[in-house]
Amino acid sequence: MTQNILLAGFGGQGILFAGKVAAYSGLMDGKEVSWLPSYGPEMRGGTANCSVCISDDPICSPLILNPDALLVMNKPSYDKFIHKVQPGGVAVIDATLISDREEIKGVKTCYVEATRLAEENGLQGLANIILLGKVLKECGFASLEAVKKGIEKSVPARKQHLVEPNFRAIELGMSL
Amino acid sequence: MKGNEALAEAAIRAGCRHFFGYPITPQTEVSAYMAKRMPKIGGTYLQAESEIAAINMVLGAASAGVRAMTSSSSPGISLKSEGISYIAGSDLPCLIINVMRGGPGLGGIQPSQADYWQATRASGHGDFQNIVFAPSTVQEMVDLTFRAFDLADKYRMPAMMLADGMLGQMMEPVSFPEDYTPIKADKSWATNGHQNKRPHNIVNSLYLQADELEQLVVDRFARYEQVKQNEVLVECENTEDADYIVVAYGATARIAKAAVKAAREKGLKIGCIRPITVWPFPTEEIAAAAEGCKGFLCVEMSMGQMVDDVRLAVNGRAPVSFFGRTGGVIPTPAEVLGEIEKLAGGDR
């Protein structure tokens, strides 16, 4: 069983971080994992995306073109990837930032007001993790316990106070 | 860990305490990691004023008999080529990392394999070779780093890690060996201070007497022959019953393997050969596989460079075709599968 998750948005939205959490979660569950970022010359702005593969078998290509799950946080990435999702897959979309609403045959689309929910719940900057929580609920790429361990691994030592808000964001996403 | 960081950590654990570099995407994390770690363990991290300076610092450090390295990406390796030739001409061991990006010129910053010829044929002027490793996973980047330092010491020659932007930037789980001890190599040639207890050593690549220089080069090539005999690394999968064999190295081999797996699921008898050292090249293994095989497909992120070595190895026993993307474009498993089906489709 292999799950290919593609995360996409603007640089600075925490796309690569959310991908790292997903990859570490798979690792905590004892799976084979890979995390491949798109990389560009810019630190912020521009589009950023990353491919995360979680599998029972060694991973061949770490580059995902047709994801089983898409997490998307901006319009350019939405336009680029929404029709690339595998049939039977799921797309989780930040509906605060993307106004398009589209039904895609064979794909479950989840429009989540993640940025608004983050602000209302004192979780500013954690819309990415709320969306990841929704992806987790829809396709169960790891156990919640593993995801929490993944968060602890991914949050840098000097930002340990952000571990708990990340836990809340994941749980909020899973409740939607 | 990220490929670049895993490689840097492996180098430190292999006993490297002297890193000289200059930043360039997509290998900058190697430098950044070294900058953080080296001062804490009593090592030297130096960001040189240019790639040329960095490789010549490696020459200096290696002359003293210590494990030294530098790291760069394609355009930077071109700048280092003069120094690499001097290091080879001085019979010094060192490790050179090339995290390849699209070229020629400044090119782009996305993954590429277009420096294969440079690494295996002409990483500088003159008659010489580097031992060139082509890792395909982050774990292999770690494992081969230890081996590269050992073999460089053993044969007194530069070793090169030929990675690419995808491997450098991606994260995968890695484990480091628990009990590594560096190979025992004679370093009595090192210019590390003689304290009037022995004659002084000279490290040099200038020999104005033609016959003397010729003899040195011939002796060096005798050593290269040993490397060719003993140090080839290659992975062969499903080649015994294969009608067609895909040959690919590095990150591209992962993509090729996905395509081969899909082709076998469709009932096609496809094998896969992945050179892990590209110099020395697994000529014998490919020649052996060519017996009873209908054809080869070489897949690269270039316009076709390793395919030359595959053709030389196959030596007319079977047709060799090529598929590649270049300039930083990564081939997809579907594209490679399409090429396999074009070759093998008629046999179904």
Q: How far is A37 from chain B (nearest CA, A)?
A: 7
- Chains A and B form CB pairs within 8 A to the count of 49
Under 8 Å CB-to-CB from B211, ≥6 apart: which residues? none
pTM metric for this prediction:
0.95
Q: Which residue of B has its CA nearest to A154?
A: B1
Q: What is the pLDDT of residues B50-97, one digit of tens each?
A: 999 999 999 999 999 999 999 999 999 999 999 999 999 999 999 999
Query: Residue holding tokens 């071109």?
Result: B78
Q: What is the pLDDT of residues A1-31, one digit of tens each?
A: 899 999 999 988 999 999 999 999 999 999 9
- Is A61 at the interface with chain B, CB within 8 A? yes
Which domains are delineated in chain B?
Answer: 3-230 (3.40.50.970), 234-347 (3.40.50.920)
Nearest by CB to A36, from B169, B173, B332: name it. Answer: B169
What is the edge-to-edge ordering of all strands in the sheet holding B68-72?
B44-47, B18-21, B68-72, B94-100, B158-164, B131-133, B277-279
Beta-ladder partners of B94? B158
Q: What is the pLDDT of residues B111-162, one digit of tens each?
A: 999 999 999 998 999 999 999 999 999 999 999 999 999 999 999 999 999 9
Which domains are delineated in chain A?
Answer: 2-174 (3.40.920.10)
Cis peptide bond N-terminal to B104, omega within 30: yes
DSSP-derived letter for residue A8 is E
Contact B171 A65 (CB under 8 A): no
Contact B170 A34 (CB under 8 A): yes
Q: How far apart are the first and last CA of chain B?
A: 43
- Is A27 at the interface with chain B, CB within 8 A? yes
Report residue B71 as tokens: 């790291």
Q: How far is A103 from chain B (nearest CA, A)?
A: 27
Which residue in A43, A61, A66 has the most chain B C-beta atoms within 10 A of its own C-beta, making it the best mutation to test that interface?
A61
- Is B109 at the interface with chain A, CB within 8 A? yes
Q: What is the pLDDT of residues A80-104, one digit of tens each?
A: 999 999 999 999 999 999 999 999 9
Taking a C-beta distance cutoff of 8 angstroms, is the pair B227, B277 a contact? Answer: no
Which residue in B2, B28, B164, B171 has the most chain A C-beta atoms within 10 A of its own C-beta, making it the best mutation to test that interface?
B171
Contact A63 B255 (CB under 8 A): yes
Give this complex's ipTM.
0.90
Work out the number of other CB atoms within 10 angstroms of the CB of residue B192. 12
pLDDT value at position A45? 65
Contact B330 A63 (CB under 8 A): yes
